[in-house]
Structure 1
């Protein structure tokens, strides 16, 4: 019985040793680069710019009105009543500007997050396709440092460009 258990332990040790000595195929992807340079990311950025361009222009228009009003107040010596009316108008414009800016930023961030979620799904599918096709054992998306030999970011970018 002892001999049988010792044999089984020996066989297990040899199997573990063989698995440990087998070479692992590891890849690393620079996610930030993918989100900056991939064709879907560039298209998403252009969509967002186009979608929010009108609101940005409105914001710039309100800003220009406020600046013009303030410059007009500084240049001209106005009667007290008119100066106070312009000050109230300037305060109102400033409040409108800040509200519009906050709403724009909130809406833009929400849409950006939607676009990023869809993009991340496409990136993950591309990585999985590469992993299955090239028999990777492990692919990391975040690393403090990566050896260029195991960086597969270019492969992911190429695969995303084809879609």
Structure 2
């Protein structure tokens, strides 16, 4: 019986040791990608860069749209008094101008979206590097970027933003 109690105690001690090894704390973190993209200096710099790059074209398109609208309004006022041939000619011209405007607007949006994606990818790449560096330095086991609910004590978004702001953006 004594040997049986000794074996049972040995099994219990071994089980406790195993449980303590398995109960080692897992360090979890969370980063809000949306906040990083809104608040980090690199993201703001990318937005400013895009605005500077595309503001001239956007103004030209706005002016062109206003000009076409003005011409269309003028045509509508004058249409009843114009001869049929002249009215048809001006109507075709307005349609052609509008088609050209719509094409330029589409091209502008496509170019803007492509550049936004390029800049966004650069910011995300820098953010991911900062996240990996923090994870390695602070020994995180896993870091999530999307979650339904996050306890604020595991939110490390501010650390990532500070790390990104500390690094001068590459030009």
Could you state the TM-score of these two structures normalised by the residue count of structure 2? 0.83
Matching of residue 155 in structure 1 with residue 152 in structure 2: no
Give how far 1:14 is off: 5.4
CA contact (8 A) 1:29 1:152 kept: yes
Residue 92 to residue 14, structure 1, CA distance change in 2 (3 Å): same
Match of 2:88 in 1: 84
Change (3 A) 1:23 1:99: same
Cα distance in 2 for partners of 1:124, 1:92 equals 47
What is the alpha-carbon distance in structure 2 between the residues aligned to residue 119 and residue 19 of structure 1? 39
Q: Distance in 1 between matches of 2:16 and 2:128?
A: 36
Find the residue that maps to 2:26 and give its secondary structure.
Answer: coil
Question: Residue deviations 1:44-74, cap 9 Å, x none?
Answer: 0111111111211121122012101111012
Alignment correspondent of 2:3: none
Match of 1:61 in 2: 63
User: Which aligned segments of 4 or more residues in structure 1 are displaced greater than 6 angstroms?
Assistant: none
Aligned counterpart, 1:123: 127
> Are 2:97 and 1:70 equivalent residues in the alignment?
no
SS at match of 2:140: coil
Q: Is the 8 A contact 1:123 1:156 kept in 2?
A: yes
What is the root-mean-square deviation of aligned Cα atoms in Å? Answer: 1.8
Structure of greater Rg? 2
Q: CA–CA distance in 1 between the matches of 2:91 and 2:56? A: 28
Q: Is the 8 A contact 1:37 1:157 kept in 2?
A: yes
TM-score (norm 1): 0.87
Deviation at residue 80 of structure 1 after TM alignment: 2.0
Question: What number of residue pairs does the alignment pair up?
Answer: 155
Is 2:34 the partner of 1:43? no
1:105 is matched with 109
Structure 1 residues without counterparts, runs of 5 or longer: 1-6
CA distance in 1, matches of 2:114, 2:41: 21
Which ranges in structure 2 are unaligned for 5 or more consecutive residues? Answer: 1-9
